[in-house]
Structure 1
Amino acid sequence: MMTTMQTELKMPKIAMGAWAWGDATDGNGYFGNDYTEADFKPVFEKALQEGLNLWDTAAVYGMGASEKILGDLARGTERRELLLATKFTPQIADGTAEAATHMFTASMERLGTDYADIYWIHNPADVQRWTPQLVPLAKSGQVKYIGVSNHNLAEIKQAQSILEAAGLKLAAVQNHLSLLNRSSENAGIIDYCRENDITFFSYMVLEQGALSGKYDAAHPFPAGSARAQSYNGQLAELGDLIAEMRTVATAHGATVAQIATAWAISKGTVPIVGVTKVKHVEDAANAANIELTAAEVTTLETLAAKTGVATIREWEKDMQ
């Protein structure tokens, strides 16, 4: 794990995700919610109370709306008390030679800060092209740590090599990881990160709610949302897994969602948990204190494999 980040930045065990912030207001956006900034204020405050001060967003989330909401809420907090992470998304780059700098500058304006604790390349559209563009941002101090997201092992090594040639270090990797999607683990990425002092951040550990215990075949995701399209047809296959997660949760005085998050922590990763309600923050805080036994982990992984459910989404790939 990345000792310098953990020590200097006092990184919490769990990061707060703002992907769903700024979703479409008609109820049919990606997540199918119509929350406003006012709804997220108690969520933000609760996270700080729990010591969960690492926030992950991206320029593309709500096309800037997520960053703007987070920035507005953060303005009353000392910057040194927050860890803000956002992303450069190649697909919305402006086509110039300084596209990353331009996107970064706009993100900082929305977030109300002049530096990012972590700045990610959102996906490996062209590792050789985009990785070097983060070098001047890091050398100027505007980016404290560089990370890559949705990269496979070969692409991670390529990015690391480019940064090392510039006298920098790849500090973090952020990939999809859950009981239903272990491709980064199976491909050796988590082991590689551990061996090379790179922090692995796991996103979608709850599969956007499919592993929260809230949804099942009788209680599907809101119709019309992207989550509904991806998960509703597979919820029935998750029955045995969710039942076992409930059993494990009872043994630990926890919730199903907390078990899904605790599993990701047991893998030596830092989960990024999407939070739109105070309860989500409470779940995350409690999950950080759960230690699953080896037997529990094995049982959960066995049942997850038996579901046959595929959760690799349209923007990503199987890392194996």
Structure 2
Amino acid sequence: MGSFMTEQHGPSNKPTHILRQLGTSNLHISPIGLGCWQFSKGNGLVGKYWPALSNQTIVDIVQTSLQHGVNWFDTAEIYGKGESEKALARTLQQLNVPPSDAIIATKWWPVARTAGSIRDTIMQRLECLQPYPISIYQIHQPYALSSIRAQLEAMKDLITAGHIKYAGVSNFSAKQMEEAHQVLQQYGLSLISNQVKYSMIDRRIEKNGILDTAKRLDMAIIAYSPLEQGILTGKFHSQSKSDVGRELNRAKAQATSVAPSGIRRWLPGFRQARLIKTWPLIEELQRLALEYEVEPGQVALNWLIHYHGHYVFAIPGASRSSQAAANAKVLTFHLSDSEKEHLNQLSMQVTL
């Protein structure tokens, strides 16, 4: 039996307390985590992607997530040059979360750096997150100046020194994640996760070997952008639940009710032709949302974390507490096998 075959429930035995083992680690986390890029405070080029959130808004988001069963947080060095990490740690302290209860995943930025930077900068990461430990330390991109072997040997040194608990990667190909795993295996360790883009309309990891490799190595997939910048919420197709029965030809006449803004205007998924093509999937998400008394995006996330068993975790972000509550509500219901398969078929018709 693989490490993903058990789900634990909290004392209330409600789905909101579902915890899964992450890869071969001893970490048990909720299938939905909280992505914290939006905590960057508008700092740095990457941090400017999001508007700066107030300290109170961040507190509300984290508190709501914790109250609804989300028990881990994903951040990164590059998110506001450490501002996201600092904001998260500050907030957890304000909410009186003990360091022993905090599960934090962060990332080292490798571009134009060597493996030595992994060792040289770890104290900066720990300082930004103090007093909270780093449960999962991930290599953010496969573009360092050093080899994968050198990078993972540096990660091994951090684990041995007690600076981090586990090592993961992000945006690694199937071949790269296997190489990284093999390096750690030589030291009796395992690579526990690969964080990649994955959603119902971007299923490339199912075609390029990443998901198959993760399953074979008993490794977790952490899906970022699981709602495709909001496309899978349906708000760019139709705001009204009364439109669920609308015919496709009418959808072609009026594909959206909310115009994309900012960077979304330039993303392929928000073009009119693409929105029209994805309408049948959105329509079914809306129908199931009515049946389960949830929102279409919650159905999409539920499919993502359950369709492949226990291998896929997702890290949607939230810029207000209501979004955090909506993300966590994904843990409160289960689609049937037939519903998941029907969504799978619709998804395959529109996926990348």
- Corresponding residue of 1:90: 110
CA distance in 1, matches of 2:164, 2:82: 19
TM-aligned CA distance change 1:30 to 1:183, over 3 Å: farther
TM-aligned CA distance change 1:272 to 1:43, over 3 Å: same
> What amino acid is the match of 1:286?
K
- Are 1:227 and 2:248 counterparts? no
- Corresponding residue of 2:119: 101
- Corresponding residue of 2:240: none
Q: Does the 8 Å contact 1:115/1:141 carry over to 2?
A: no
> What amino acid is the match of 1:39?
T
CA distance in 1, matches of 2:277, 2:176: 33
- Are 1:211 and 2:250 counterparts? no
Match of 1:247 among 287, 295, 298: 287
Secondary structure at 2:29's aligned position in 1? coil
Aligned-pair distance for 1:196?
A: 2.5
Give CA deviations for 1:30-74 in whole Å, capped at 9, x if unaligned.
Answer: 545332222111111111112212000110112222112111112
Secondary structure at 1:270's aligned position in 2? strand
TM-aligned CA distance change 1:248 to 1:200, over 3 Å: same
TM-aligned CA distance change 1:31 to 1:300, over 3 Å: farther
Q: Does the 8 Å contact 1:59/1:103 carry over to 2?
A: no
Secondary structure at 2:232's aligned position in 1? coil
TM-aligned CA distance change 1:65 to 1:92, over 3 Å: farther
TM-aligned CA distance change 1:187 to 1:290, over 3 Å: farther
- Corresponding residue of 1:307: 350
CA distance in 1, matches of 2:213, 2:191: 12
Q: Does the 8 Å contact 1:177/1:202 carry over to 2?
A: yes
Paired residues, number: 304
- Corresponding residue of 1:314: none
> What amino acid is the match of 2:97?
T
- Corresponding residue of 1:183: 204
Aligned-pair distance for 1:304?
A: 2.9
CA distance in 2, matches of 1:102, 1:250: 52
Aligned-pair distance for 1:134?
A: 0.8
CA distance in 2, matches of 1:29, 1:214: 25
Give CA deviations for 1:68-90 in whole Å, capped at 9, x if unaligned.
Answer: 21111122320111101100110
Q: Does the 8 Å contact 2:32/2:315 carry over to 1?
A: yes
CA distance in 1, matches of 2:139, 2:208: 20
CA distance in 1, matches of 2:163, 2:124: 13
> What amino acid is the match of 2:292?
H
Secondary structure at 2:303's aligned position in 1? helix
Q: Does the 8 Å contact 1:31/1:227 carry over to 2?
A: no
Q: Does the 8 Å contact 2:38/2:52 carry over to 1?
A: no
> What amino acid is the match of 1:272?
I
- Corresponding residue of 1:111: 129
CA distance in 2, matches of 1:5, 1:192: 15
CA distance in 2, matches of 1:222, 1:65: 25
Secondary structure at 1:109's aligned position in 2? helix
Aligned-pair distance for 1:219?
A: 0.9
> What amino acid is the match of 1:222?
S
- Corresponding residue of 1:140: 161
Aligned-pair distance for 1:5?
A: 4.5
In structure 2, runs of 5+ residues without a counterpart are: 5-20, 238-255
- Corresponding residue of 1:259: 299
- Alignment identity in percent? 26
Aligned-pair distance for 1:131?
A: 2.0
TM-aligned CA distance change 1:114 to 1:242, over 3 Å: closer
- Corresponding residue of 1:315: none
Q: TM-score, normalised by structure 2?
A: 0.78
- Are 1:24 and 2:3 counterparts? no
TM-aligned CA distance change 1:156 to 1:54, over 3 Å: same
CA distance in 1, matches of 2:70, 2:148: 31
- Are 1:77 and 2:97 counterparts? yes
TM-aligned CA distance change 1:160 to 1:304, over 3 Å: same
Aligned-pair distance for 1:294?
A: 3.0
Mean Cα deviation higher: 145-154 or 101-110: 101-110
In structure 1, runs of 5+ residues without a counterpart are: 311-320
Secondary structure at 1:151's aligned position in 2? coil
> What amino acid is the match of 2:156?
V
Indicate the structure (1 or 2) with the bigger Cα radius of gyration: 2
